[in-house]
Amino acid sequence: MSGLLRIPLASLPAPQTGDQNEISSLYELIDECCRSGVARSALLLTARKMPPHLIKPHHLRLAFEALEPLRHADRARSFDLADGSRAITWRGEAGSLLDRALTTLRHLLADDPAIADIAQIAPLYVLPRDADIMREALRATIPTAPEIILVSPRIPEKLDPASLQSLEQSLLQVNVSRFARHRRVWRVADNKKLEPAWDKRFLSVAELTATLLPNHDATADPWLYRRLTRTLDRRLLSLLAAPHELRAAGPLSLDLNIGTLLTPQFLHFDSALPAHLRGNLNIDLLPADILADPTAYIFARGFARARRYQVMIREVSLPLLLALDFKALDADLIELEFTPELMQHTELLPRGVRLVLSYSNHSGQIDSAAREFAAAHGIRLLAPRD
């Protein structure tokens, strides 16, 4: 039994029995909403809370049919849970679809005086705000099970061209919103407190690979990974260009390839960008990408400025501080990677451009050293990484 691990179910964060795939997917979706900040709503029709005289299969079928209009909402997904409950999630506002579903449910349950509010049977959750409450409600739908068996993880394989092609094809078909993530960049205010500056939006490559091409490491081959990022760029732009996606968003930044900036997909995103984000969106570019096609960089930079985007050169490490001519690059922002060695070479810090200090916040020591370094050199934008 080597490689197998027995774990009591109760200790798992997400349940794995009965309709375990369904409920696991629902848990994942809630987690994603929390990580990415992409708003969703969820309606949970709880079977065990139905009145005793209405729990026959045909009653439940009628109740489920009442929810059918919600399947037409944006990115609607339905989850059948192990205790007979059903959850429906969707993105944005369902408006009249939700009204129709709730009205039908109310009609079904109208004769039961014990049900004062339909929310007792079918609570509505707004994610990520109500994530904890919904997780708690879902926990109650899990039947108990003795134990499950997990197989110990295998070493992931390196991506090769064939698997990259397969991954790219899968990416064209899958809804990538579940892989959307955000990471906050902070500004040091005058009172020394941190306040949000903008959100970096990206797709989680690790989770996306784990889902679409399990047991592969997409980043192991650096150049195939760079190629993959082009497809990811297009998918991210298509996600963000969806109606309402950025309607309530604050300032943000996107890691993009220069080539992506000059594609029809970016032009589509640009035309869909809400007015309040014009001037509040950074395009983050890699130095190697710039030097692979410098004329395209100059062109893209001009285009970005014409459309009021700000250009940031990201992941600038100490050797690149020496190797790049920041005056000639003429970017709006430079993201420096903090390492303790940087403290010995402060004369290399670019002048006349806003700096963002990026550092790993795994270690409290690095975290405080980075923040001290930033304070000492007037760097007011901080980008801690997980």
Partner 1 sequence: MNAIPPPTGERLLADAIRRAQRSGNQQLLTLHLGSLPAPRPHHRRIARALLQDAASRHGGQIFPLRNNDLALLTTITDGKGGAIDPANLPATFAELFRADRPDPAGLTSIWNIETDQTEIFQYLQTLLTQEPQLPLCDEIPPPPAAVEDIASLLATARIGDLTQRQIAIEIAPDPAAPGSRGRIMRPLFREITFSVDVLESRLAVTGRASSDPYLFRHLAARLDPRMMEFVLTKMNIHAPGAPRLHINLTIETLVTAEFDEFARQCLDYGHRPGIEVPLIEACRDPDQFKQARDRVQNYGFPLIIEGVSPLGLRLANPGSFGADLVKLNWDKSLAVHATPEMIAAINRLGPERIILQRAQNEQAITFGLGVGITRFQGHHIDAMLAAARLKSCPEGDASHCTLRQCSERAAATSAATRRFCRNQPLLERGMPENLRQSPER
Q: Residue 207 in contact with residue 224, Cβ under 8 Å?
A: no
Is 220 an interacting residue with respect to partner 1 (CB under 8 A)? no
Angle at 75 between CA 71 and CA 80, to 5 degrees: 55
60-78: buried (b, 16+ CB within 10 Å) or exposed (e) per residue?
A: beebbebbebbeebbebbb
Q: Residue 92 in contact with residue 39, Cβ under 8 Å?
A: yes
CB of 281 to partner 1, least distance (A): 16
Q: Exactly one of 116, 295, 364, 378 binds partner 1 (CB under 8 A); which one?
A: 295
Q: Exactly one of 70, 164, 236, 356 binds partner 1 (CB under 8 A); which one?
A: 164
Is 205 an interacting residue with respect to partner 1 (CB under 8 A)? no
Residues 62-121 that bind partner 1 (CB under 8 A): none
DSSP-derived 3-state class of residue 95 = coil
Of 265 and 361, nearer to partner 1 (C-beta) is 265
Q: Exactly one of 223, 347, 351, 352 binds partner 1 (CB under 8 A); which one?
A: 223
Is 328 an interacting residue with respect to partner 1 (CB under 8 A)? yes
Please enumerate in sequence order all residues whose Cβ is within 8 A of that of 98, keeping only pairs 6 or more positions apart, or say none: 41, 43, 69, 70, 73, 124
Residues 233-272 that bind partner 1 (CB under 8 A): 262-264, 267, 270
CA-nearest of 371, 351, 350 to 359 is 371
Please enumerate in sequence order all residues whose Cβ is within 8 A of that of 366, keeping only pairs 6 or more positions apart, or say none: 338, 340, 359, 360
Q: Exactly one of 107, 302, 368, 385 binds partner 1 (CB under 8 A); which one?
A: 302
Is 325 an interacting residue with respect to partner 1 (CB under 8 A)? yes
CB of 331 to partner 1, least distance (A): 11
Residue whose structure tokens are 């900040």: 37
Of 48 and 278, nearer to partner 1 (C-beta) is 278
Q: Exactly one of 303, 361, 367, 369 binds partner 1 (CB under 8 A); which one?
A: 303
Q: Kindly tell me the sign of the dihedral angle through the C-alpha atoms of 323, 325, 331, 336.
A: positive
CB of 291 to partner 1, least distance (A): 5
Site map for partner 1, 7-46, x if CB under 8 A?
----------------------------------------
Q: Residue 252 in contact with residue 201, Cβ under 8 Å?
A: yes
Helix (H) or strand (E) holding 356: strand 354-360
Is 349 an interacting residue with respect to partner 1 (CB under 8 A)? no
DSSP β-bridge partners for residue 168: none
Using CB under 8 A as the criterion, which residues of the chain lie in contact with partner 1 when the complex forms? 160-162, 164-165, 168, 221-224, 226-227, 230, 262-264, 267, 270, 286-288, 290-299, 302-303, 305-308, 317, 319-320, 322-325, 328-329
